Amino acid sequence: MRMPFRCLCGILIAAPMVLGNDATKAAKIDQLMAALNVEQQETLAMAKTRRVIAARIQAQLGARASNPDVAAKEKKVLALVEQRTSWQHLKPIVQKSYADAFSEHELDAILAFYLSPAGKEMVQKMPLVTRNVSQTVSAEITGLKPQIDQLLYPGGQPHHN
């Protein structure tokens, strides 16, 4: 009779260590998201997305955009987009993505790096690195234009810029 009781006690004591504490994992995810400035990055990215959507709507509507009924519908559409791309809506989605991707042990190691001086420097400098790479790749692709034109227009046919 004592053996099953001891096994049950052992399982109950070990379970949190094996399974991890969901509240602890969630706190680590929040700490990691703060260290990575995820809210700021997502907010900026979604603001850009909303501007692109608004511009596309304007382009599709054209002259009809001045119609008060059409303008009211556009405003409602943009409000829906705003709600779905707000940090308040996206935060639980992002948190779940981190929780699904990383174990608590992995989060500990990732946090150790991003909270270190080198990790903080990386977070601070990555936007510049990303921008520089993007500009360089864009210039490389732009530099291909003469070759692309030659392939597409072998006879020197006029092309539109």
* pLDDT 10s digits, 102-121: 999 999 999 999 999 999 99
Q: Which residues have a Cβ under 8 Å from the Cβ of 89 and sit 6 or more positions away?
A: 83
Specify whether the CB–CB gap between 111 and 28 falls below 8 A: yes
With tokens 């791309």, the residue in question is: 85
The DSSP secondary structure of 98-131, one letter per residue, reads HHHH--HHHHHHHHHHHTSHHHHHHHHHHHHHHH
Statement: the pTM of the whole predicted model exceeds 0.75: no
pLDDT digits (tens, 9 = 90+) for 69-83: 888 888 898 899 899
With tokens 């990575």, the residue in question is: 36
> What local confidence, expressed as pLDDT, does residue 64 receive?
81
Residue 83 and residue 88: Cα distance in Å, rounded?
A: 8
Per-residue pLDDT band at 6 (split at 50, 70, 90): low
CA angle 128, 52, 39 (to 5 degrees): 50
> What local confidence, expressed as pLDDT, does residue 159 receive?
54
Q: Which residues have a Cβ under 8 Å from the Cβ of 83 and sit 6 or more positions away?
A: 89
Percent of the chain with pLDDT over 90: 51
Specify whether the CB–CB gap between 71 and 65 falls below 8 A: yes
Residue 50's CB is within 10 A of a number of other CB atoms, namely: 16
Per-residue pLDDT band at 5 (split at 50, 70, 90): low
Alpha-helix residue ranges (DSSP H) falling in the chain: 2-19, 22-35, 38-61, 68-84, 87-101, 104-114, 117-143, 145-152
Per-residue pLDDT band at 94 (split at 50, 70, 90): very high
